[in-house]
Amino acid sequence: MVGIRRTGSRVLSAGVGAQSLGVALLPAGKAWDVLILPSRLGYPTLDVLSRVLDQPGPVLVDFGDARTRFFVPAGTAARWVGTGVRTAGLGTWIVVPHPGGVSSGGTPAG
């Protein structure tokens, strides 16, 4: 997870943890929404954002599922129109690596 430390610590305290599985469930639609792109779109998007913005914001890359998730302002999911992009907004939950857990590669997550 890139750049979610400050925002994440506030949001994670409200999440429902599944620490034994190394994941946490976080409610979308309150502090942020998520745009979910297939990595063939997500990687180039992150590359462009990284070049034009000093700090592009929190991004979660899921190598096993080949998806890139961009955390965006709450309410974005309800207004998003785009082909090939899924959204998570109010009433949905997302799964993220549990802070301090161990990733599948054996390295600390978060």
**If we measure between CA atoms, which residue out of 9, 18, 14, 46 comes closest to residue 29?**
14
Measure the CA–CA gap between 29 and 14, rounded to whole angstroms: 13
Res 23: pLDDT: 83
Can you say whether the dihedral through the CA atoms of 36, 37, 43, 45 is positive or negative? negative
Strand 16-18 to strand 32-38: parallel, antiparallel, or no bridges (unpaired)? unpaired
Stated pTM of the model: 0.71
Residue 35 has pLDDT above 60, yes or no: yes
Residue 110 has pLDDT above 90, yes or no: no
Length of the chain: 110
pLDDT band at 83 (very low <50, low <70, confident <90, very high): confident
Give residue 61's region: left, alpha or beta (phi > 0; psi -120 to 50): beta
Which is more confidently placed, 27 or 107? 27
Domain boundary assignment for the chain: 5-94
Res 37: pLDDT: 93
